Structure 1
């Protein structure tokens, strides 16, 4: 980030906080006669001085310190002068207009502006992806309205007979908490015999809704967003700005410190001094007394996303040495809690375990997470936690093209919404509803409508079981048009992503049944069987990943006396046939390491990552054994390697490969070694010799035939059709794959 850009962002954020404070000032003035209105202040000669006096009065006499403290400090650090006076008057006039509109006050206006200010490097280093309002409302609608013991007709509302407690351990500017507030308020207005809207607001702000973040100004905006839903006097709130950094011997990890202890100490808070003791910091006042985190009934969260690999941006907002100290402290804490290894998935995985620690049995979590959580190797322990302790009720995924794979505002990475209920005792999990959105809701009303449809389906999972070949999906609709499909599954394996790689239920059913060796076609139903095995059972050895190759070798396009050959890169204009030749040489950085790594070379290559919209072949056979930077080298005997090169480039092979993908951004997907090892493939070892020979003849026939990019190849199959028809003949399958071709050609995961 350049100095100019950084300065502009800081000044913009400061201006936003001043407007926010002025709006709050006007609201406070409406029920405190001793506080002058903005109109009164605008008539004064020195508005800066008058604002300082008024805000100091509010802090000292009415105790709204956390809301106004930041803005007052900003104001005091601004020099007096005609320019400042003129600009402050402009801000005050704008604030007056906003404060006069109850609609604007209720719609998280400042949060939206704040999110736009944070786009770019600041968001990256603080790991701040902010949930879109429609996604937040959809998630909140499910959490509040699904069957549970929640009773909002009384004050305080109760859950399991206890006063309701809601938390967001990474609350940002409060979008998710605001959505929860709206849903609780709406349900109270429907179900309560006697409306107590003010009492409900007072309880939720003072006791019911808890939030934490490491950005002070974000917590300030979250407090304001909640307060302005019903701007009546309140005596406090449970929103806290937490320290992130190393001070003396103490390492502060924000909310992550709660993995060790439920105590919120004074030195953990940005508003507190680094000293012993504890304090409450709230919308209304700051008061020294002990705070212990309660158990929560609802946790809603879009946790930080940074990972500990690829440059390691964990705690990336901090200086390098301080960042290392915090990373070491985090590693120590994860080892202590027996959840080592999840740091590679990023802080998001840590926050899932944090949510679980404080969630009551019977309570629900609603999370915005990277789609990689469904399949990613580094997310394994998170999925294990969810399978062992939760009923995963909904997995909502966006397949909307034009980089609309997300539910956060400032990312184009693929994300999901996950809703799960913490099971009681020996309770068994039921069906998970997979919601595949072809078009996302674009506003809160659409989210309410979609959420209502999903709630109605809650107990109907058996009707839409994806593994029942006669079941059809539920068609989600908005404005009379289909916007997605809903189907169900009982999650029996740790790889959740195999259930929803494609946007279309029929393709996912074909994939799931194929993994069991069952051939299913949308227009024919179950049509036969294929005997499958895994790469590991074939005796295959998978070679090194790109990191190992780069750390051991330098690549060269010329011979230069090197005995190490490589197949380097992936250019779809050139690499479009099953048979390839080495295209690069490798020069060792360390001879001994090079020799060891060279033993792992292979002559079958399977892509390590791919952009499905443009890639052509996903596996290739080479005349020599090689290493690669973007392909997995597989060591097999020559004939097995040739047969698998054909198989993986068949439609059946492509679908089985798709079942182990880790989705990053729509069609941009990875294939991890751990899953590749156990990927179902054609059982070559148990094939009759004449069948093996026929597929080897097929290899010789098509090895130089060109493949087009996957969407085009499925739209007008040529080489792929030749392979598919011959494999079906050899395996005794009397089927045509045209229905799969048609659906795959239109599949967003391929077309992008």
Structure 2
């Protein structure tokens, strides 16, 4: 007789209880619970009902399991008889057939070892109003995976979104009252701003209201608690006693402070104290009602919710770039850096003594989302290994987790979220630091966490202490002693991306945006810039790369010899010229490199942070250990929406990395290795060699067959195109780089810019061309006139007037030097793929290159014609796209330095006959209009150019150019790329 379903459910439930300490209590995980729901006698197979979260039902069935999905969906919307809570999540779990024949110890052992359970999750308010994940197919999983999915399902996305809206509404209402107060009693709001160490403005008042709302949520959670918290009265109890007033609320909060929760209630007390008694009542009512609405949904401790709210409320991003990492992206990064087999120290997750020695840091913690995700992941792994995370909480807060931020409110919010992981567990100290920034009382300047680049505090201009939010108070921390170099086993960060150089300062009207936060003066910015220059000396920091490169250097300094790195970075890290020193650090010091990007078409779809509007990457690596010389590149089709998806992605990516069964860049145009949720394809992975220098090009590429094709052409001179069955069918193509065959013209600022102190850097003033210009310059873009390969310069250089004879002579020499760079061939340095047609061009009259078009001087007019032709074939365009920095949607950028390494046709290898053939092709196509590159699949002119150029000049077979043949397929694939079409 086979094992009954009841027996199987009991066994699974028993083992699930062992995966999470909170589930070990009576009744939290129940199997075959008759009468669990109000109004019926339906019996869920397994019910997970952890306090303060939404209940989750797990329905099981042995394969073929034809009814398990229907049964799981039927549980949605049911109300628990015991708590009145509604089921919003249900898991359908399919069991292997072999389980029908197992019992006792063999059954238990099999469940523990199983990796082929099949799972899907339903979320929604009813069987007819729900979503299935994955949309199609099933997830293969282990018992630990089931536990993790159930834990994630207990925080339903809809509840988080609804709660976020409720909190935003309440905060906005309270902030509006504070705005009125700022008019009537400005000293009150100025005092609040002083305590928050921010300017007295709208954002600060929203932040103050958020702190009050946060305090009321915790107040309601703690009221009526056991031990010293037993005397804390709830809001309803205060109302019943006619004591819901400023003085009595402060009394309750100070009572809580005597026990714990300093990060939450100290700042809230200070804010509330500054509000006049006669103006507090409406604010108290709004905040209490907001907390009550949140508590009805049981989501008061969700770091997802807290982070989302912080993102909606903070607006001081112009200078700090304090963007918020989405919870799903944080889960992905935490999952990639914290693995089940061992801690970042190399010890087992069950070794509590070793766990207490571990150090995890975020030196730009912002809302604390990354640290919260890391702590959640660590807690899960500890409990999967049989430990109890709550018992380690004081050690985690005191010794393990470090967070730093320049915003006091951000530090307090981070501490709040971490403390909220185990709100009834007392801790005496923490390393959540508010680091000094800007001009200090002793007239020194501070750079926030970047001060820590100096390991010995010898730089006299820097302030060296920070405020620490302790469990029972706040005190000064001496930063260098607390945060030494080479001491951290895991560093996770999403640092600011602000740059001190280029046009960024011009856009916002400040000399140095990197140090312009908190209304610092020009002199303060100058001093901070000087201090930064000294601090960063000898590191990989580069001003054009910006602040993020300094934080990468800081992570390198702070990590132990085998520490793990996890960063959210601008995607320009992978291809920007200014980032080469940073890439070198990663190449030489780190192994086991994993890089994740998003192939989104829109600016808002390419980032792992909310609202950055720019492409980002996730980078993880192991310092001093692991595989070097190669990396796993992952391209996701879209950013994961929910933490559960982030965790699942991390597990798949980590398994691909560890198992090594991944397609390689060198494999030819076969595409990458699939990453999917069930049958839902969500991305690809590719194993890629990391060169000693240069760009990491496999980023934001949805169809990795294009990357493999580009690699074969660039490295091996073999046009192994998609659809070709093997390398034997590939066509030979002589390749070189621009720097090897040509001279690149001037950087545009050397044409027209002024130097320091009003000196002459560029000898020209660039004006619109008229008549026959003396010094023609290709300066700016005008897409409609650039549809053809040949067009003339639209601008000219007007020679500047010198102040004296020396300057006149200098200008003359500079004009002569620039004139010598004039060329027929020019390169589009910022190609807007979804509006512009040409990547290279030819001008009948030689012209100087400008801001939009860099001159490329081969020295031979005929070869420059060939270069312009090549640059506008599909293969030449592929090389541009492959080499470009695809930081922005529908656009590729290749600066002057990067152009040196752009793979191009080796013009020096062409015979006279080939040059003559190319000249004929040029004559036939020079005036024909090309479509913008994103229309490449339907561009008949470009298709004809491809066929003429490669058949007539190189003798490629005509069969390659037929409809749906290899070249046509290449164009179709390029047209489908989000980084090319940009959503158009």
Q: Would the alpha carbon gap of residues 146 and 550 (structure 1) be closer, same or farther in structure 2, given more than 3 Å must change?
A: farther
Q: Which deviates more, 90-99 or 395-404?
A: 90-99
Matches within 5 A, 1:694-705: 694-705=917-928
Aligned to 2:840: 619
Is the alpha carbon distance of 1:246 and 1:655 closer, same or farther for their aligned partners in structure 2, counting shifts above 3 Å? Answer: same
Gaps of 5+ in 2: 1-178, 184-198, 506-511, 755-761, 803-809, 962-966
User: CA offset at residue 129 of structure 1?
Assistant: 1.6
Query: Please, which of 539, 546, 549 is the counterpart of residue 349 of structure 1?
Result: 549
* Residue among 421, 432, 447 paired with 2:622: 421
| Counterpart in the other structure of 2:394 | 202
Aligned to 2:311: 115
Counterpart position of 2:708: 509
Query: Where do residues 673-752 of structure 1 align in structure 2 (5 Å cutoff)?
Result: 673-734=896-957, 735-736=960-961, 737-752=967-982
Alpha-carbon shift at residue 502 of structure 1 (Å): 2.5
Instruction: Give the match for residue 449 of structure 1.
Output: 648
Alpha-carbon deviations, 1:391-432, whole Å to 9, x = none? 1431111012233011000211000111111124xx651641
The match for 1:381 among 561, 565, 581 is 581
Q: Which of 631, 650, 655 in structure 1 is aligned with 2:853?
A: 631
1:567 aligns with 2:760: no
Q: CA deviation at 1:283?
A: 3.5
Distance of 1:305 and 1:727 partners within structure 2: 44
> Is 1:554–1:587's contact at 8 Å kept on the other side of the alignment?
yes
- 2:291 paired residue among 95, 111, 124: 95
Q: Distance in 2 between matches of 1:585 and 1:470?
A: 45
Output the CA distance in 2 between the equivalents of 1:607 and 1:210. Answer: 46
SS in structure 2 at match of 1:502: coil
Mark the CA change 1:316 to 1:139 in structure 2 (over 3 Å): closer, same or farther: same
Cα distance, 1:176 vs. partner?
0.4
After superposing the two structures, state which structure 1 stretch, 427-436 or 624-633, moved more: 427-436
Moved more, 245-254 or 123-132: 245-254
C-alpha contact 2:873 2:945 (8 A) present in aligned 1? no
Between the aligned partners of 1:600 and 1:202, the Cα distance in structure 2 is 67
Residue 243 of structure 1 aligns with which residue? 436
CA distance in 2, matches of 1:135, 1:174: 13
Looking at CA atoms only, which structure, 1 or 2, has the larger radius of gyration? 2
User: C-alpha displacement at 1:437, in angstroms?
Assistant: 0.7
Whether 1:212 and 2:404 are equivalent positions in the alignment is: yes
State whether structure 2 residue 421 is matched by structure 1 residue 229: yes
Contact preservation (8 Å) 1:544, 1:633: no
Moved more, 575-584 or 308-317: 308-317
1:664 partner SS: coil
Residue of structure 2 aligned with 1:283, choices 455, 467, 471: 471
- Please state whether the residue corresponding to 1:417 is helix, strand or coil: strand
**Cα distance in 2 for residues equivalent to 1:721 and 1:485:** 32
Match of 2:789 in 1: 578
- Match of 1:276? none
TM-score (norm 2): 0.70
1:470/1:680 CA distance change after superposition, 3 Å: closer
Residues 629, 286 of structure 1: CA spacing in aligned structure 2 closer, same or farther, 3 A cutoff? closer
d(CA) in 2 for partners of 1:557, 1:702: 28
Task: Confirm whether residue 536 of structure 1 aligns to residue 739 of structure 2.
Answer: yes
SS at the partner of 1:669?
Answer: strand
Q: How far did residue 128 of structure 1 move?
A: 0.9
Q: Which residue of 2 aligns with 1:166?
A: 360
Give the drift of 1:732: 2.9
Kindly state the Cα deviation for residue 533 of structure 1 after the two structures are TM-superposed.
2.0
- The answer to whether the Cα contact below 8 Å between 1:476 and 1:485 also exists between their aligned partners in 2 is yes
Deviation at 1:258? Answer: 1.0
Structure 1 runs not aligned, ≥5 long: 272-279
Cα distance change of structure 1 residues 443 and 239 upon mapping to structure 2, 3 Å threshold: same
Question: Is 1:702–1:719's contact at 8 Å kept on the other side of the alignment?
Answer: no
In structure 2, the CA distance between the partners of 1:365 and 1:548, relative to structure 1 (3 Å rule), is: farther
Q: How far is the alpha carbon of 1:351 from its aligned partner?
A: 0.6
Structure 1 residue corresponding to 2:572, chosen from 337, 353, 372 = 372
Indicate conservation of the 8 Å contact 1:534/1:678, yes or no. Answer: yes
Aligned residue in 2 for 1:274: none
| Structure 1 position 587 matched with structure 2 position 831 | no
- Separation in structure 2 between the aligned mates of residue 383 and residue 138 of structure 1, nearest angstrom: 22
What is the CA–CA distance in structure 1 between the aligned matches of 2:785 and 2:744, rounded to whole Å?
Answer: 27
Q: Which segment is superposed worse, 383-392 or 660-669?
A: 660-669
TM-score by length of 1: 0.91
Native 8 Å contact 2:768 2:794 kept in 1: yes
The counterpart of 1:127, out of the listed 313, 316, 321, is 321
Instruction: Answer with 65-74 or 232-241: which moved more.
Output: 65-74
Cα distance change on mapping 1:573 and 1:520 into 2, 3 Å: same
* Rounded Cα–Cα distance in structure 1 between residues aligned with 2:428 and 2:296: 23
1:572-630 deviation digits (Å, cap 9, x = unpaired)? 22210010112223323455446244443332110111221111011111122223221
- Aligned mate of 2:266, from 42, 61, 69: 69
8 A contact 2:690–2:696 mirrored in 1: no
Is the 1:134–1:441 Cα contact (8 Å) retained in structure 2?
A: yes
Give the direction of change, closer, same or farther, for the CA distance of 1:520–1:77 in structure 2 (3 Å limit).
same
Higher mean displacement: 201-210 or 281-290: 281-290
What is the aligned counterpart of 1:405 among 606, 609, 612?
Answer: 606
Looking at structure 1, the residues matched to 469 and 207 of structure 2 have their Cα atoms a distance apart, in angstroms, of 22
Give 1:203 shift. 2.4
Following the alignment from structure 2 to structure 1, what is the Cα–Cα distance between the partners of residues 472 and 260? 5
CA distance in 2, matches of 1:134, 1:654: 35
Deviation at 1:727, TM superposition (A): 2.4
- Where do residues 278-357 of structure 1 align in structure 2 (5 Å cutoff)? 280-287=468-475, 291-293=481-483, 295-309=487-501, 310=503, 311=505, 312-317=512-517, 318-335=520-537, 338-339=538-539, 342-357=542-557
Aligned 8 A contact 2:823 2:855 in 1: yes
Bigger mean CA deviation after superposition, 736-745 or 366-375: 736-745
Q: CA deviation at 1:714?
A: 2.6
| Aligned residues of 2:328 and 2:642 also touching (Cα < 8 A) | yes
Report the counterpart of residue 687 of structure 2 in structure 1.
488
Distance 1:457 1:46, change over 3 A: closer
1:11 is the counterpart of 2:205: yes
Q: Deviations over 1:298-317 (max 9, x none)?
A: 11110110012222411221
For residues 617 and 125 of structure 1, the distance between their equivalents in structure 2, rounded to whole angstroms, comes to 36
Q: 1:341 to 1:165 in 2, by over 3 A?
A: closer
Structure-1 separation of matches of 2:298 and 2:864: 68
Which of the residues 687, 691, 696 maps onto 1:497? 696
- Residue 345 of structure 1 aligns to a residue whose secondary structure is coil
The one of 870, 895, 901 aligned to 1:672: 895
Aligned residues of 2:669 and 2:705 also touching (Cα < 8 A): no
Distance 1:211 1:450 in 2: 26
Q: Distance in 1 between matches of 2:489 and 2:232?
A: 38
CA-based RMSD of the aligned residues comes to 2.7
Report the counterpart of residue 331 of structure 2 in structure 1. 137
Offset of 1:462 from its aligned partner? 5.5
RCO greater where, 1 or 2, for CA within 8 Å and sep 6 or more? Answer: 1
SS of structure 1 residue aligned to 2:565 = strand
